[in-house]
């Protein structure tokens, strides 16, 4: 099957599911798409029990799609930019301490607590694994996904500052978590070749290099946009930033996700100041459409990944226990930075609870799990990740708006 045929099939499925959800189910779009994809996977399992070749054909077809390369190599840059151009710089500056600490310190704390907890949990279930692989799992499951939660929270009438903390943290910790994951992955692949100083240098190169490169790229695009007033050229320039910038960031070994977020924030604020109202309208509509289309494809793919998951009962049970561990860890990793002198006046216990329940996991976690090598216990980590992501989106995603409203009402 060619790439065009595969992509066409995904677009058709996403369009059908979106229509069915909008007309009949009426769930939030990303959740409705994933529910229908999961139901499709379950139907395929039932059909497979009756006629095994049908399930085998569907599984083989899905296995030919490189989910990790599709998301991390292509889709992620577009979705991060689409989110970043709507970040208001003046609000981000007010909440910068919260966003920086939550996207860095909280992610690192979460990685180690989850890694340690899962290490001993697996020993308890007589499935001992190397600690470095448990730490790797901690890094891939720590990033939160802004895609599924922001639309729901906006309808909950939360404050702009809280919305900025959630969106800013999610956008930046996606990039930070990927850097942490890649750093640990390199250590896991060749532990004898790495010293602690090498790890710090690699992290600094990826993270700070990505932010610096993205900022420079964003300002270059901004200065060029000041010289023209043509929405077609301006939209094309943003496409060039996303596609060319992401590819070049990977080439010079800095974080592509962080570079695109930084460039998106610069263009979305300074760039729009120099644009006409018509250009701003077209730019926003174009990236909104790109974002909605890619999100539809992503969540359909997440639901269909059930066909590739090892449904071992013990793995599934461990996955549900890990959900509890993850929620507790999420609270702790937010609570610790929030008690620092820098943040004490800005973040309340209500905010931490909303951030804890609103910290959804999504496609990035699945993509990172699928990128693991077989000798790293890939089947186990993929199953645990899928269970957590499914719970996160279907349960937390459906209730986070109500939780936010209830806590705001009490506040």
Q: How far apart are CA 83 and CA 361, in angstroms?
A: 16
Give me the chain's average pLDDT, please: 89
* CA gap 313, 334 in Å, rounded: 32
At residue 222 the predicted structure's pLDDT band, cuts being 50, 70 and 90, is very high
**3-state percent breakdown (helix, strand, coil) of the chain, nearest 5:** 85, 0, 15
How many helices (H) and strands (E) would you count in the chain?
20, 0
Among 131-145, 178-192, 251-265, 334-348, the minimum mean pLDDT is found in 334-348
Return the higher-pLDDT residue of 4 and 220.
Answer: 220
Q: Is the pLDDT of residue 196 over 80?
A: no
According to the model, what pLDDT value does residue 409 have?
62
Distance CA 326, CA 121 (A): 13
Which pLDDT score is estimated for 166? 79
44: pLDDT strictly greater than 70: yes
Predicted local distance difference test score (pLDDT) of residue 359: 87
Q: Judge whether 292 and 240 are in contact, CB under 8 Å.
A: no
Work out the pLDDT band at 338, boundaries 50, 70, 90: confident
Q: Write the burial class of residue 356 (CB in 10 Å: 0-12 exposed, 13-18 middle, 19+ buried).
A: buried
Per-residue pLDDT band at 156 (split at 50, 70, 90): low
Q: In whole angstroms, what is the distance from residue 209 CA to residue 179 CA? A: 11
Match 């570079």 to its residue by tokens: 259
Q: What is the mean pLDDT of residues 361-387?
A: 93
């Amino acid at each position: 099957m060619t790439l065009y045929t595969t992509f066409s099939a995904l677009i058709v499925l996403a369009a059908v599911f979106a229509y069915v959800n909008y007309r009949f189910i009426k769930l939030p779009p990303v959740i409705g798409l994933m529910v229908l994809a999961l139901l499709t996977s379950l139907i395929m399992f039932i059909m497979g029990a009756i006629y095994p070749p049908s399930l085998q054909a569907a599984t083989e077809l899905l296995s030919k799609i490189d989910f990790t390369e599709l998301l991390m190599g292509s889709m992620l840059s577009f979705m991060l930019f689409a989110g970043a151009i709507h970040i208001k710089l003046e609000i981000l500056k007010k909440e910068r301490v919260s966003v920086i600490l939550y996207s860095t310190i909280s992610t690192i704390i979460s990685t180690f607590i989850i890694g340690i907890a899962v290490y001993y949990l697996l020993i308890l279930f007589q499935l001992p694994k190397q600690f470095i692989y448990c730490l790797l799992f901690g890094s891939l499951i720590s990033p939160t996904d802004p895609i599924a939660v922001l639309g729901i929270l906006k309808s909950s009438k939360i404050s702009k500052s809280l919305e900025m903390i959630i969106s800013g943290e999610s956008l930046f910790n996606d990039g930070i978590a990927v850097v942490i994951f890649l750093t640990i992955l390199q250590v896991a692949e060749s532990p004898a070749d790495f010293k602690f100083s090498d790890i710090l240098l690699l992290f600094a190169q990826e993270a700070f290099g990505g932010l610096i490169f993205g900022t420079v790229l964003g300002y270059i695009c901004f200065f060029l946009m000041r010289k023209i007033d043509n929405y077609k050229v301006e939209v094309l320039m943003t496409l060039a930033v996303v596609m060319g910038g992401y590819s070049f960031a990977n080439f010079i070994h800095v974080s592509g996700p962080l570079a695109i977020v930084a460039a998106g924030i610069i263009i979305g604020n300074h760039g729009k100041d120099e644009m006409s109202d018509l250009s701003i309208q077209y730019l926003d509509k174009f990236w909104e459409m790109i974002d909605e289309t890619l999100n539809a494809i992503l969540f359909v793919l997440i639901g269909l990944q059930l066909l590739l998951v090892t449904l071992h009962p013990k793995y599934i049970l461990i996955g549900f226990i890990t959900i509890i561990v993850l929620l507790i860890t999420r609270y702790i990793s937010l609570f610790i930075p929030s008690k620092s002198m820098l943040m004490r006046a800005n973040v309340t216990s209500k905010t931490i609870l909303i951030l804890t329940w609103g910290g959804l996991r999504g496609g990035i976690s699945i993509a990172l799990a699928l990128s693991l090598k077989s000798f790293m216990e890939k089947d186990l980590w993929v199953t645990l990740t899928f269970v957590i992501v499914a719970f996160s989106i279907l349960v937390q995603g459906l209730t986070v708006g109500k939780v936010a409203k209830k806590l705001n009402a009490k506040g």
